[in-house]
Amino acid sequence: MEEKDVTKTGTTTLGMICKDGVVMATETRATMGTLIAHKTTKKLYQIDEHLGLATAGLVGDLQILARYLNAEANLYRLKRDQKIPVKSAATLMSNILNQRKFYPYYVQLILAGFDNTGGHVYSLDAAGGAIPDKYTAGGSGSPYVFGVLEDTYQEGLSTDAGVDIAIRAITAAKNRDSASGGMINIAVITKDGFKEVSEEEIKKRIEKLGK
């Protein structure tokens, strides 16, 4: 039997740590082979007021995993009267994925958030691997995103600058990866919580950047 490569997900996602928070971004195209099935697919989920999940892979698997993590984050808050640490959320999701590694969820995830130890970004694979990094990307458009991030990312940049870099990176993927397209969704997570950047603001920045 041919082994299915779960890393070949037709999507582009990214997460990066900034000095005042984290920035997450995705595009919105969903494909079925060569068919563009949906143009406005949600791939960026708010898990808690300090935590987000950027998703690539099978839509059904992604949606149920987002619901699982959201429920667990709520339970943690109810039991302990505090928000779940980002590292703990990544470990929890890693355990959920690892339990199904022989019948896996076909996903590639980026979990990011801001807690009392600062900003954190984790890349999670279908077998439960959880790797922290300053920035990461996922999906079929990730090589183009990494190219932009390697060239423009600097430690200590602001989330405002991070949003512009995210736009440049996702746009590069949309221009070169046929499975990536549609609009750009961006969220910024700081000590003040999870905030999605409005479509109008993204369009203004795209125009200003000449993208």
Residues with catalytic annotation? 11
Q: Determine the Cα–Cα distance for residues 203 and 187; give it in Å rounded to an integer.
A: 15
The rounded Cα 190 to chain-centroid distance in angstroms is 15
DSSP 17-48: EETTEEEEEEE--EEETTEEEESS---EEEEE
Q: Determine the Cα–Cα distance for residues 90 and 80; give it in Å rounded to an integer.
A: 18
Q: What is the identity of the amino acid at 43? A: K
Given strand 44-48, what is the order of strands in its sheet? Answer: 44-48, 51-57, 107-115, 118-124, 130-132
